[in-house]
Amino acid sequence: MRTVLYAAAAFCLTAVPAWAEPAWCSAAPQAGAQPFTVETPEGFTLEVAGQADDAVTWALRRGDDVYVGIYVGNNAHFAASNPGDVLVDDPRRQRRVRMASGALGQRPVEYLYETGCKTWPTQIHVWAHPLPVLSLEAERLAGTVKPK
């Protein structure tokens, strides 16, 4: 009986596939690779705003105005930087959210996703870009960015 249980346990342990990274993970940034989705309304464009050896920054813009910034890499800067800001974990969506306080109360203005990649990118950092003033449209669009 014991031999059968050991054999069954060994089969279960070997039959379960190892945790796999998302298919879009890579050793380094890939030209044109976009490991996220984002709502792009009519009149908006998504473009690469900058690229380094270990990161790519994207901008969702309408004309000359940037509404959303998106960092894809391994070393995102994400912190409560203003008095009254609150960091909130959102485990359902596997992200952290920075809530900014202002005249309209606490509003989500930044998101940090851990991608599950072991190599690159390990993080996707999204923020509503401060135009002259932070707009509700920028906040809404930032909330539509999701890892693939």
Q: Which residue has the higher pLDDT, 141 or 90?
A: 141
pLDDT of residue 22: 85
The per-residue b/e assignment along 78-107, b for 16 or more CB within 10 angstroms, e otherwise, is: beeeeeeeeeeeeeeeebbbbbbeeeeeee
User: With 50 as the cut, is the pLDDT of residue 126 above it?
Assistant: yes
Residue 66 lies in a domain: yes
User: With 60 as the cut, is the pLDDT of residue 80 above it?
Assistant: yes
**Each residue's pLDDT tens digit, 19-34:** 577 888 888 887 778 9
Q: Which residue has the higher pLDDT, 26 or 2?
A: 26
Does residue 145 sit in helix, strand or coil?
coil
Residue 5 lies in a domain: no
Question: Cβ-count burial of 139 within 10 angstroms (0-12 exposed, 13-18 middle, 19+ buried)?
Answer: buried
**Each residue's pLDDT tens digit, 22-70:** 888 888 887 778 999 999 999 999 999 999 888 999 999 999 999 999 9
Residue 85 lies in a domain: yes
How many helices and strands, by DSSP H and E, does the chain display?
Answer: 2, 9
Residue 100 lies in a domain: yes
Identify the domain containing residue 102 by its residue range: 24-147
In the chain, the number of structural domains is: 1
Alpha-helical runs (H) found in 16-115: none
Residue 135 lies in a domain: yes
Tokens of 95: 């992200």
Residue 13 lies in a domain: no
Residue 14 lies in a domain: no
pLDDT of residue 145: 94
pLDDT of residue 74: 94
Residue 88 lies in a domain: yes
Peptide bond into 132 cis (omega under 30): no
